[in-house]
Amino acid sequence: MSRQHLQTQFSKIYTYFEGKDSDTNLETMAEIFSCTRRNARMVLAKMSEQGWLSWEPAVGRGKQSRLCFHRSDTDLQMKRVRDWVKEGKLDAALEELNNDAAKLARLIQEQLGVSTQEGRQIIRLPYYRAFPSLNPSKPLRRSEQHLVTQIFNGLTRINESTECIEPDLAHHWEAITPSHWRFYLRPAVRFHDGSLLSVDDVIWSLESVQNNAYFSNIKHIAAPAENVVDFVLHKPDCRFADTLAVPQASIQSKQAAGTKEADRFPIGTGPYRVAENNDRQLVLKAHDEYFGFRALTDEIEIWVLDSAAMCYLQPSASLDPTALESRQGALHSGTNERLELDEGCNYLLLNRRNGIAKDPEWAAYISQRVSSLMLLPHLAQKGIGEYRLTNAYGLIPGWIHTAISSVTVSPPSQRHLRLVHQADNPLFPLLADALKDMLAEDGIALQIDAVSYEEIMQPRNTKKIDIWLCGMSLGSKRRDAILPWMMNFEHISAAMPEAEFAELVSAMDDWRSTADMPFDAESVGRKLVTSAQLVPMFHIWLGVVEGRDLEDVASNKVGWFDFKAVWRKPEL
C-alpha cells in the first residue's frame, strides 16, 4: 500500500471517529476501510508503525478494542504537502491546499534558503514567474540576462566588477586589420551534454544573430584552423571584442539548439546546466566539467510562485533577488539590503513610424501630457505604494532629459489609442490602468492589451499599436551598454522613423571605427526623449536581501548574484 493510500485510509477513520480516542472493533474498521478483517488488521499495523495511532486489540470474544490517535488528519495532510514541496511537486501541493497560494507560500518559506543534502550545497530562491525561454539569441528580460550568463559563455565577457572585457571561450584574440578579427578558442571545452565545443558551434551561434543591427557589421565567419575563428566585417571596428561580450552572443550547441526543448533546456558550456525547467521550478546544477573554476554551490532551485503568494514570503536568512522585479513585499527590516537603482527604466515607446505619434501634434501631446509626476496621483489610488519606484527624467538614473512644463496641452481630434505592454509583469497593468484614467480626463479612450516580451521586442502589425509600455535594464554602467538594447531587436527600429534609426546605426559605426573616442550615450538618450520617441516613467530599485548563511554575496547590475561564487561556511 502506498503512503498516499495509507493516509487516505487514515483520513477515513479520523473523520469517522471525529479524531477522538474510541473503543471499537475490527469489524467496524473493516467496514470503514472497505476491506476484509485481515486487511484491516494489516492497515492498522502499518499506521501504528508510522506512529499515527495505536491499536490495542481486545482479548476475549465480544470485547471492544482500543483506538488512540497520535496524529491528526491535518497533521498528515501538512506532512504530505511539505514532502511534495520539498520534492518540488508544487502543483500537487497547491491542489491539496485547495489552491490556497498564501498557505503554499508559507510552507515554501520553510524550505527556502541554503541547505546541505548529502554534502551538496543547495540554494532555494522564490520568484514570481517561470522561464519558458533561456535561449540567448531571443529577447532576454532582466532575469534571463543573468541566467544566461550562468548557463552559457561567449567568446569574451564583461567583468562585472571592473566592467572591462576579458577572455572567456576565447583565450586570446587579435585584430589582423580593423575589419578582420581572429579569436583562438580554449581547447577541450565541453557542453553540458558532454560534447566538445567546436568552431561550427561558434560560427552557427553568431550567424544566428547577424540579422540584428548590433551584429550586422559581421560580413563573414570562417574557421582557418582548429580552434580558430575569423570574423570579416563590413566596416572597421576597433571594439569588436566588446561586441561579442553581450549575452546575445553566447555560444550554443548547434546540435542541441535544433531540439524541441531547446528554449527551456538550452545546452551551454557555463558553470551551471539546466536540470529542470517547468512552470513551477527552475533547477540549475553545477557543470562538473566546466573549463573555469567549478561552482561552489552545487544546485540552485528557483521556485516559481504567483505574485499573490510572493507577498507572503519573508526572507529566509537567505536571498530574495528582486522578488517582483519592483515590489518590496519580501523586503523587511532586520535584513541587510544591497539595493541600487536599476540601469534603466520603465518607459513609453511611441509609434512614430506608422502609429498615432507619426503625427507630430500627437507625439508632442503624449510626451508633454504624460510623465511620472502626472501619473503619480492615479497610481496612488491603485496601491502603487507597495512598489520601489523613483521618477525617471531620462533613460538612466542621473540623466535629466524630460522637460517638466506647467502648460496645459490638449489632444488632437482623434480620441482612441491602443497600448500594449508585456505580460507577466505585476507593475505594468497598474501603470497602464493609471495612464488610461489620466487620458480619460482628456476624453481619450485607451485600449490596453498584454503581449509576450518577445512580441514587445520583435513587434508584428505595428500599424495597430500606438504606444508600447516597456522596461529596459542595461545590466552595466558602460557607456556603450545602451547599444545592445537599441540594436539587438526591432522594438526601436519598428517605432522610429527609418532615417532617424539609420542615424543611430551610423553613430554606432563611427564610434566603433575610432579607438580612442568615448561613446556619447547620453546624447543618444537625450535624442530619444526630446524627439518624443520615448517617455521615461520610473526607475526601480534592485538588489538582494543578504542573510548570514552565505559568503561572498554581491548584487550584480540586474539584481541577482553570481551563483557560482557564493558558498556556505560550515559550522565547526
User: pLDDT, tens digit, for every residue of 422-479?
Assistant: 998 888 999 999 999 999 999 999 999 999 999 999 998 899 999 999 999 998 899 9
pLDDT of residue 512: 95
Residue 332 has pLDDT above 50, yes or no: no
**Percent of the chain scoring above 70 in pLDDT:** 91
Least Cα distance to 54 among 33, 24, 81 occurs for 24
Could you please report the per-residue DSSP string of 303-331? EE--HHHHTT----SS--TTTTSSB-TT-
Pairing of strands 170-177, 180-185: antiparallel
Q: Which of 238, 243, 237, 232 is nearest to 170 (CA)?
A: 243
- Check: CB of residue 40 under 8 Å from CB of residue 67: no
Q: Which of 209-218, 407-416, 544-553 has the weakest average pLDDT?
A: 544-553
Dist. CA 434–CA 444, nearest whole Å: 13
How many Å apart are CA 213 and CA 484, to the nearest integer? Answer: 9
Contact 467, 419 (CB under 8 A): yes
Phi, psi of 32 (to 5 degrees): -65, -40
Above 50 in pLDDT, residue 55? yes
Q: Looking at the predicted structure, is the pLDDT value of residue 95 above 70? A: yes
Residue with the larger pLDDT of the pair 128 and 247: 247
Is the model's pLDDT at 8 over the cut of 60? yes
- pLDDT, residue 421, reads 97
pLDDT number for residue 392: 94
Q: Which long-range contacts (CB under 8 A, 24 or more apart) does 194-203 make?
A: 194/289, 195/253, 195/255, 197/169, 197/251, 197/269, 199/223, 199/226, 199/227, 199/228, 199/229, 200/254, 201/251, 201/252, 201/253, 201/254, 202/155, 202/169, 202/229, 202/251, 203/229
* Mean pLDDT estimate for the chain: 88
Q: What are phi and psi of 335, to 5 degrees?
A: -120, 160
**pLDDT 10s digits, 337-389:** 557 888 999 999 999 999 999 999 999 999 999 988 888 888 888 767 656 78
Question: According to the model, what pLDDT value does residue 386 have?
Answer: 58
- Residue 362, classed as helix, strand or coil, is helix
**pLDDT digits 0-9 by tens, 513-523:** 998 888 999 99
Comparing 81-90, 184-193, 327-336, the range with the smallest average pLDDT is 327-336
Crossing angle for the helix pair 3-16 and 73-86, nearest 10 degrees?
Answer: 160
Residue 309 pLDDT more than 70?
Answer: no
Check residues 69 and 389 and name the one with the higher pLDDT.
69
Is the model more confident about 152 or about 369?
152
Helices 3-16 and 37-50, packing angle to 10 deg: 100
* Residue of higher predicted confidence among 77 and 363: 363
How far is it, in rounded angstroms, from Cα 119 to Cα 105?
A: 27
Residues 313-342 have a mean pLDDT of: 50
Across 36-49, average pLDDT: 91
The alpha carbons of the chain give a radius of gyration, in whole angstroms, of 29
Give the C-alpha separation, 513 to 508, whole Å: 9
CA triple 257-260-266, angle to 5 deg: 40
* Strand-pair partners of 232: 180, 220
Evaluate if residue 327 carries a pLDDT over 90.
no
Query: What residue ranges in 206-322 does DSSP mark as E strands?
Result: 218-225, 228-233, 272-277, 281-286, 299-304
- Residue 308 confidence class, pLDDT cut points 50, 70, 90: low
Mean pLDDT of 43-47: 92
User: Residues 205-225: pLDDT tens digits?
Assistant: 999 999 999 999 999 999 999
